[in-house]
A = this chain, B = another copy of it.
Amino acid sequence: MTSKQEFIEKLRNSSLRPTKQRINICEVLFNRDKTFHFTINDLFNLIKDKTGENVSLATVYNTVHAFLKKGYLKEIPINSNQTYFDTNVTDHHHFFDVKEEKLIDIKNEDVGPIEIQKSIPGKKIKSVEVLVKLED
């Protein structure tokens, strides 16, 4: 359980102004035990439900993108028409349950080292992510 005051400090330390909207978003996102995989819309609805306050959808987009840039969230590529985000910012991989449309974490050590035997001149590897699709 992180307090409102702690979120304010964390935001300030990241040179993000601690607005009412951002504090609400922090409480929904980061007051959790487990990894949280969500779409912008999931988050938007949870904010209304959990805090009772209204944050505009555009602000949810803005804030999620700000948190992404600061490294507090990760964007997860899955082939859906919606982008997913992840509060687990460590290096890891995912199952995607196609039927349930749900992401499940896979720890790095459960996949083993991935050796890419090809390289592109002038470019270096930024990240390597595995997506395992599941069916029944």
What is the 8 Å Cβ interface bit string for chain A, positions 97-136, against chain B (1 contact, 0 not)?
A: 1100000101101111011111010111111111111111
Report the Cα distance A29→B111, complex, angstroms: 35
What is the 8 Å Cβ interface bit string for chain A, positions 57-82, against chain B (1 contact, 0 not)?
A: 00000000000000000011111010
* Interface size band for A: 35 or more
Report the Cα distance A115→B113, complex, angstroms: 10
Count of this chain's copies in the oligomeric assembly: 2
Residues of B within 8 A of A126 (CB): 98, 133-135
Write the residues of chain A forming the contact surface with B, with a CB cutoff of 8 angstroms. Answer: 75-79, 81, 83, 95, 97-98, 104, 106-107, 109-112, 114-118, 120, 122-136
Q: A111-B117, A128-B130 are in contact. List 4 more A-B contacts (CB 8 A).
A: A110-B117, A112-B117, A114-B114, A125-B132
